[in-house]
Structure 1
C-alpha cells in the first residue's frame, strides 16, 4: 500500500502572517464568499518531488475539501488530488480536532504523513487508539510561517527510515 501525504491548506500552504516575496496573493470565491490566500508555487513542486521520491500519494486533508482542487492545486502546480471527506463535525472524544476522526477513517491502515497546523498530542493519541493505526507521522506546521523545507525533510526521512518509501 502506498503511503499517504495529507495536506492542509490554511496555516500550511496559506500562512497566516504576511508571507515572503515567494508567495502570490489570490482571491478565491466559494459559495459567494471571497477568501484571500497567499500561495507559494514552489510548494506544489516540492510536494510532488516528495511524493515521487517516496512513492507516496498526495491527498487533501482540509476544510477546503474539493475546493482545494479548484482553487489551490492549479495555482501551485498540483494535479487534482483525492480529498479526505470532512463530513459532519463530530464531537471530540479525547480533545482531538474535528478533522482527526475523518482522517482516521480515510487512511484505514495505510501509513501516512499529515501536514497540519492544528495537530497536537491529543490527535496522535486518538489516531494511535483508532483500530491499530500506528504507522503515521504528524507534522505540526506553525501557521504563521507555513510549510517549510524542514517539514518536507522530516516527512522524507520518516518515510525512508520507516521502510514505507516506495520511490525510485
Structure 2
C-alpha cells in the first residue's frame, strides 16, 4: 500500500470531500443558475467564473494528509473542467443524489446522508459553503467516526485560514 503524507496509508487517511461552487470557485456576487439549462452552461469550461479558482489551491490540497474526493453537483465534470485549473489529478467522485434546483432553508443538505454513507465510518472533512448546524447535528448522530464539517465563506472561497483549520484537524485525526 502506498504511504501518504505523514506516513499514513492512503486507505487509512481521512477523506476530504470537496465542493466546487462557493468553495473552489468563489461566488463574489455571481448569481448561480436556477434552471437546468443554466446549470449546463455553468458547468462548462467556458464559464468565466472559473478564472476565480486560485491555482495555489491544488498544491495546498494535495499537501493535506487525506484522500481527496469531489462532493459536488459537478460530479464527473469536476475532473475534466475543474481539476486541471488548480493542478489537481483526477479524483474520485462521491456518489450523490441529483442536486435539487432549489435548496430550502431548514432542511438537511442534499449531500449530507450520501457523504456519511461514502465515508463508511472513516474520519472525514467536508468542505462546502452550504453546511448548516442541522448537517453537523445529523452527522454527529449518524456517523461513528470523527468528522469536521467546515463551512467556507462562499463570497471568498477557500482561504488560508480554512486550510489552517482543515490541516490542524486532519493532523489530529491521523491513525
Partner Cα distance (1:6, 1:47) in 2: 11
Q: Write the deviation string for residues 63-93 of structure 1: whole angstroms up to 9, x where unpaired.
A: 101100000111110000011111245999x
Unaligned runs of 5+ in 1: 20-27
1:30 Cα offset (Å) = 7.2
Partner Cα distance (1:158, 1:32) in 2: 33
Partner Cα distance (1:31, 1:89) in 2: 13
Match of 1:74 among 79, 84, 91: 84
Larger relative strand fraction: 1
Structure-2 change in CA distance of 1:151 and 1:16 (3 Å): same
1:136 aligns with 2:155: no
**2:17–2:125 contact (8 Å) kept in structure 1:** yes
In structure 1, the residue matched to 2:62 is 48
1:111 aligns with 2:156: no
Secondary structure, aligned partner of 2:28: coil
Partner Cα distance (1:2, 1:79) in 2: 18
Root-mean-square deviation (CA, aligned residues, Å) is 2.7
1:84 aligns with 2:98: no
Partner Cα distance (1:89, 1:29) in 2: 16
Structure-2 change in CA distance of 1:77 and 1:33 (3 Å): closer
In structure 1, the residue matched to 2:174 is 165
**2:20–2:74 contact (8 Å) kept in structure 1:** yes
**1:127–1:134 contact (8 Å) kept in structure 2:** no
Q: Write the deviation string for residues 103-131 of structure 1: whole angstroms up to 9, x where unpaired.
A: 1111110101111000010001111222x
Structure-2 change in CA distance of 1:79 and 1:5 (3 Å): same
Match of 1:39 among 53, 65, 90: 53
1:149 Cα offset (Å) = 1.1
**2:122–2:145 contact (8 Å) kept in structure 1:** no
1:87-106 counterparts in 2 under 5 A? 87-88=97-98, 95-106=107-118
Unaligned runs of 5+ in 2: 1-11, 31-39
Structure-2 change in CA distance of 1:5 and 1:33 (3 Å): closer
TM-score (normalised: structure 1): 0.79
Match of 2:23 among 12, 25, 34: 12
